Structure 1
Amino acid sequence: LHDRWYPKVKRRNDLAERFVYGVPELIGEQLAEASLISLPGCYATAITLGLAPLTLGLGLNLKTVVVDGKSGSSGGGATARTGDLHPYRNGAITPYAPTGHRHASEVKDFLELARPGTIGSLSMSAYGVSHVRGLLTSSYVFTDEAVDQRELQRAYLRFYKGKQFVRVRRHTETIIPVPDPHVVLGSNFCDVTVMHDEDGGRIVVLAALDNLVKGAAGQAVQATNIRFGLPEETGLTMQPVMPA
């Protein structure tokens, strides 16, 4: 998988096997003793936090997962590319990775190794939108297993109980339907919503975060806090810049 998605990067297998995948809400106990931590990117963080209660919590076998991702300019990466500059992206909906996004393989690999649930296939399309910061992932999940809205909502609340940086939301609880990147900007929160589409035979999972905080540096600080025995929220108590 590494050779396919990162053909120009030589992989040190002896080091790679020592890394833990740094999503604190999912592997916190491993972080406490970790010598090497691998931090996922913003898309991978949002998708993984959105799907984990289904696979790791309920142990569901997901036949197909289709992810639609929309990111502001702050998700454009560290390399300067003309098409990623905000003046070009502003006012546009840019399908920069409609097929074959490498984060889809990363998420599937982590969740399959973590188990107990399984994922048959996970594919992703990614779009650049006018936002300066923040992203939203919409995961459309198809499974043969019977679930309903109440069971799903309870499973998400139970899975993230005590996890202060993941907020399980109801879609209609605010004036602005959530999750929306607008209401997490500047914070280390990831907002997650799960809905059962009975007519469509699917589960819809939405997740929103700030690319530069929970999707990057904020999560790094969170993982470091756990590693060195500090309160998890140290340095991360800033609230969203827009009321949620």
Structure 2
Amino acid sequence: MNKTILLCLALTCLLSLVGCEQKIDTWSGQNVAYINMEVDSTVVSFAYLDEDVDTVSVEITVMGDVEEGVSRYVEVKLVEKNATAGEDYETLAERYEVPSGETSCVIPVVVKRPNDESDKEVILELVENNDFHLYYEDDVLTSGSAVVYSKTTHRILFNNVMKEAPNTWNVYYFGTFSPLKFETICTVMEIPRTSFLSASYMGSGRISYIANYMKAYLDEHPIMDGDKEMRMGDFLYQ
């Protein structure tokens, strides 16, 4: 009797283990690649950059089976909108490696400072291939939102136009804003353009110093800004 009970218990445990093994989740879907950028556009303003080239790193995330020691590849293409390869941006390779054991890779899109004032645009598109499908095409910005963004394309806009003054521009010290005045200040003072985006860097003391230095410089080296001589803010001329 005891042997029978033990046999039944052992059989029950064995069946339970088999049942548990059958419930273990395994990947049974397709291998998928998608652009993991949270937004579908990147804007590059060369007016705030000292360099003539900038790299937009577009992250690609993949899901699916990972075979040890075997690399997979994502394929991409770059569609130009009012931009020219070689002149406005660097061409891309057709495919990029996702190393064995990795779940992502980065596509470096290199754009160049435009020679004119037009807005340039290129669109990076994922291309379906033998390694990855693209059925994960879009996502919402926030949970419950009706606003969606693309997971298979990423738009890159770039220009060399200063359309408005940086947030630290002080009209009392710097005067009326103009792109030429901004460029002149950065060049003469050897100040990185991005410094004007930092309120902590552009404190009142530094603003006063820059303005007074530039006033003295312009007094000795007049520069025409449009049809008038460039001048600093009215506060310095009182």
Per the normalisation by structure 2, the TM-score is 0.28
Structure with more contact order per residue of length (Cα contacts < 8 Å, sep ≥ 6): 1
Query: Which structure would you say has the larger Rg?
Result: 2
Per the normalisation by structure 1, the TM-score is 0.27
> Which has the larger helix fraction?
1
